[in-house]
Structure 1
């Protein structure tokens, strides 16, 4: 009977892909060995996978926790693999959830640090022409966005499309607060931006005027016709990023206001678009 290839002889690409998916190399070798053998003891896995005996027990324990195998308690425990078509989707969903929670935790930490850390003193008392300010990074840009919305007194015009800067817990909080203090809030969304109703329902209930446009030229915010914020695309990929610019010169804010007014005129009421 021909000898079956061991996990140590498996295509390196398959092991590398499992490692990229979050398994250790010992776990990847142990799992592929179980898939080949069907059922095996820890000693058999260690021998066939080329994993040191002391480390194979930890690898199999983690594989069981992560849904890649089951264990049958007997005089000698034996391990059986969970089919890849079942194990991998479940594991990748778990990994995505972990990444989302970690990103939200980072956002909260950044917001806390921004509140707690002192602001640097101005290097010089000389007046500056602060007509444009570049913003880099999700936390700093998100903070500047909320501050700009908080300064609005009469009007707040926005064009929204993914990706979004704020964590889910802060969606529309600043916009709703502006609407409730009497600011005229208008927002143009793309279809991708309203796939989740929680993206807009609170603002709609607060009196914001919302419209829909199939595509928009940029992400834009204009407050009171005197200050604007635009989201800049990556110059190499053309993809929307988290780098933004705040603009305060009237010669630049004016054309941006005209751009919003044109997009608003060509957009349709949100209710009509959502009903299609």
Structure 2
């Protein structure tokens, strides 16, 4: 059940405001009695909610009287206060992230061989998007006809968004697909490519039938391999993220002639 405390008021503040709505203009002493807020606290509570413009006071009267601001106005003011606090909180966290990004990024990458895996469609997608976002220099995307099946509308847009962000931070992106995969992409992906990526010198897409496997090369040292479900071929099962210079070099060498022989994409 909704409560004024959900909008930032304390128990005493909520009680005093509700009581004023019921009693109409009244003194602090009468309000303390009607609201069961101790007399030793009533002036602090009234001062707090008056500072939030939830009550008005009649200073000329003796003793001083207080009246509640109309509920619609009071709730709008409380909501705006919470919005302002939320914006300030987000800005503070963004500043923290910026500072930590510089601090943690200065440590440099770990060069040892490493591998990890994610199982299931959601985990596979999350791992792929994470590694695309981590690229600093180069991304190579290769997708053949046996690409594990995802919701291409959602995943295609998310991957394209990551690739666009990579290009904007100076990463070279090469995408190699079969014509069949291109035909299955949603129109939203094609529209983003035409309007925002096709003329960018750091982004290139080519097509060829001579492909075997679906993977992503990151910065020439890391590969994300997509694995189909062995029990239901074509269905996404897992992704393996492997950091191995020698293996990635071999894959890159195999990719290069296929890229050179491929045709530039025309949507």
TM-score calculated relative to the size of structure 2: 0.49
Answer 1 or 2: higher relative contact order, Cα 8 Å, separation at least 6.
2
TM-score calculated relative to the size of structure 1: 0.48
The structure with the larger Rg is 2
